[in-house]
A and B are shown apart, each in its own frame.
Chain A
């Protein structure tokens, strides 16, 4: 696998949220606004890249790996929890409104199965550089996915798109044009599941169409042969 493929697989082919359906809890909880999704993405990128790097560094040393192996899951958790706590403290100090907005979901990154999953499945068995690329690709894939869900939910639920702080787009004119009100339900937990369901359905439909096209192409080639 090339470095580019390693990076892109997290965004498309093995997207943690849309394909593997991992990390659903924070994804559904924080996607009430685009700003929250961006904040969560920043936190996850920081934690995932560094945790992948550190775990890969530990496990690439044969002697250390042999000692760590029996206690590797607690080791991963200690590393991840430390990084998450650092992110939490930095966010509290420098992005306090985002910190307040994300609330309990920042510390919950510790138990995000994407991060622990990549540590065990990839970082523990690959070189530090590849692990960094994998972590970056996966975290960005997760970020892109929750951004899509948040755009969907915030727009349909409030008619707004809050990008960062005061940078907010008011798209209520679309609802005015359609003579309907924003559907507040989309900012609620039920709306989160419905949004994700819709998006997964669209992705499945597009994938099925592409597969069908590829099969038809293969069939066409065979018929020509």
Chain B
């Protein structure tokens, strides 16, 4: 029995470890959501120092080295401001900063959101004016004497912003995002109508193909297969329209857009129900280019569908 005492002691320690692990898992379960919400609130509070978030559509783009908060105009979805949340190696740990940049590349402001630098020395980076006023120009940067490593961390963040700000405002914002596997579906007219019931004719047009479905020589339905450039590649859609110009359905048959953003166009309800009326069209916030491509396809159909049903296709 005495020989087993060490083993039993070990088992007691193991059991205690398991109990403590379970307790921690329980507390983690209780707090994890609130922690995430608080972290987000803290970040949004920091962004609010620069802009009133309520006035913009906010989009978050997660990159390998940080996050970019995109503030878009609510009226035209144009990018108005970018708030970069980047990290760089400081003296203690990583220094994390928010850098707010306006459309004209002027720097609205910057703030240190996390640092663990030497008290009284490296901590001077908090609230310091580094004389960084134009996003694409770090030549004016003023370092803090005696806090070289911490200053260099701040400068590294500003340099990263300077290298990409202009490109980001000019459309390069989504280039770093991983591209998903292309969405490729084999769609036929049978996905919309029973092809056995109709005489089907195929007409090539500049932007794609139109399948004409006739019964007794009357056009009953048109299935448009239209292709247009998306963010990375062409977007091809099948759009089925009935004689009364109601839209039967539409399917994205090929796309290769940004994962998590542009890929939202697949299976999306764009609220397009009447073929020659685009006024109800719902865009996807955060996927402007891809949404615009879909809208362009619908607009091609909207412009010609009435004429196509009226005999324009015979011409």
A residues engaging B (CB < 8 A)? Answer: 29, 32, 64, 67-71, 74-75, 78-79, 81-82, 85-86, 89-90, 92-94, 96-97, 100, 103-104, 184-185, 187-189, 191
Known: A92-B38, A96-B42, A100-B114. A74 touches B13 (CB 8 A): yes
Question: In whole angstroms, how far apart are the Cα atoms of A64 and B114 in the complex?
Answer: 45
CB-based nearest B residue for A94 = B34
Known: A74-B13, A189-B119. A82 touches B31 (CB 8 A): no
Pairwise interchain contact B28-A89, C-beta atoms closer than 8 A = yes
CB < 8 Å neighbour of B5 from A67, A78, A94, A97:
A67
Pairwise interchain contact B120-A89, C-beta atoms closer than 8 A = no
Pairwise interchain contact A79-B119, C-beta atoms closer than 8 A = no
**Stretch from B16-24, B149-157, B230-238 that touches the partner:** B16-24
Pairwise interchain contact A93-B34, C-beta atoms closer than 8 A = yes
Pairwise interchain contact B27-A89, C-beta atoms closer than 8 A = yes
- Report B109-124 residues with CB < 8 Å from chain A CB: 114, 116, 118-121
Query: What residues of chain B lie closer than 8 Å to A189, measured between beta carbons?
Result: 118-120
- Report B1-21 residues with CB < 8 Å from chain A CB: 5-6, 8-10, 12-13, 16-17, 20
Pairwise interchain contact B20-A79, C-beta atoms closer than 8 A = yes
Q: Quick check: is B39 within 8 A (CB to CB) of the other chain?
A: yes
Pairwise interchain contact B27-A86, C-beta atoms closer than 8 A = yes
Known: A78-B16, A93-B38, A96-B39. A85 touches B116 (CB 8 A): no
Least distance between B232 CB and chain A CB atoms (Å): 39
Known: A89-B31, A188-B119. A71 touches B17 (CB 8 A): no
Q: Quick check: is B205 within 8 A (CB to CB) of the other chain?
A: no
Q: Quick check: is B203 within 8 A (CB to CB) of the other chain?
A: no
Q: Contact mask B134-155 → A, CB, 8 Å, 1/0?
A: 0000000000000000000000
Q: Quick check: is B35 within 8 A (CB to CB) of the other chain?
A: yes
Q: Contact mask B240-258 → A, CB, 8 Å, 1/0?
A: 0000000000000000000
A-B contact pairs, 11 of them (CB 8 A): A29-B119, A64-B12, A68-B9, A70-B5, A71-B10, A75-B12, A81-B20, A85-B27, A89-B28, A188-B119, A189-B120
Pairwise interchain contact B13-A103, C-beta atoms closer than 8 A = no
Pairwise interchain contact B20-A82, C-beta atoms closer than 8 A = yes
Least distance between B118 CB and chain A CB atoms (Å): 8
Query: What residues of chain A lie closer than 8 Å to B12, measured between beta carbons?
Result: 64, 67-68, 71, 75
Question: In whole angstroms, how far apart are the Cα atoms of A129 and B45 in the complex?
Answer: 45
Pairwise interchain contact A78-B17, C-beta atoms closer than 8 A = yes
Query: What residues of chain A lie closer than 8 Å to B120, measured between beta carbons?
Result: 184-185, 187-189, 191
Pairwise interchain contact B9-A90, C-beta atoms closer than 8 A = no
Question: In whole angstroms, how far apart are the Cα atoms of A82 and B27 in the complex?
Answer: 10
CB-based nearest A residue for B116 = A103
Pairwise interchain contact A71-B13, C-beta atoms closer than 8 A = yes
Query: What residues of chain B lie closer than 8 Å to A75, measured between beta carbons?
Result: 12-13, 16
Least distance between A94 CB and chain B CB atoms (Å): 7
Pairwise interchain contact B35-A32, C-beta atoms closer than 8 A = no
CB-based nearest B residue for A81 = B20
Query: Given A70-B6, A100-B42, list of 6 further CB < 8 A pairs?
Result: A79-B20, A82-B20, A85-B24, A89-B24, A93-B38, A188-B119
Least distance between A71 CB and chain B CB atoms (Å): 5
Pairwise interchain contact A92-B31, C-beta atoms closer than 8 A = yes
Least distance between B292 CB and chain A CB atoms (Å): 40
Question: In whole angstroms, how far apart are the Cα atoms of A187 and B20 in the complex?
Answer: 38
Least distance between A21 CB and chain B CB atoms (Å): 21
Question: In whole angstroms, how far apart are the Cα atoms of A86 and B28 in the complex?
Answer: 8
Least distance between B34 CB and chain A CB atoms (Å): 4
Query: What residues of chain B lie closer than 8 Å to A67, measured between beta carbons?
Result: 5, 8-9, 12
Query: What residues of chain A lie closer than 8 Å to B10, measured between beta carbons?
Result: 71
The 6 closest A-B pairs by CB, nearest first: A188-B120, A82-B20, A93-B31, A93-B34, A96-B38, A89-B31
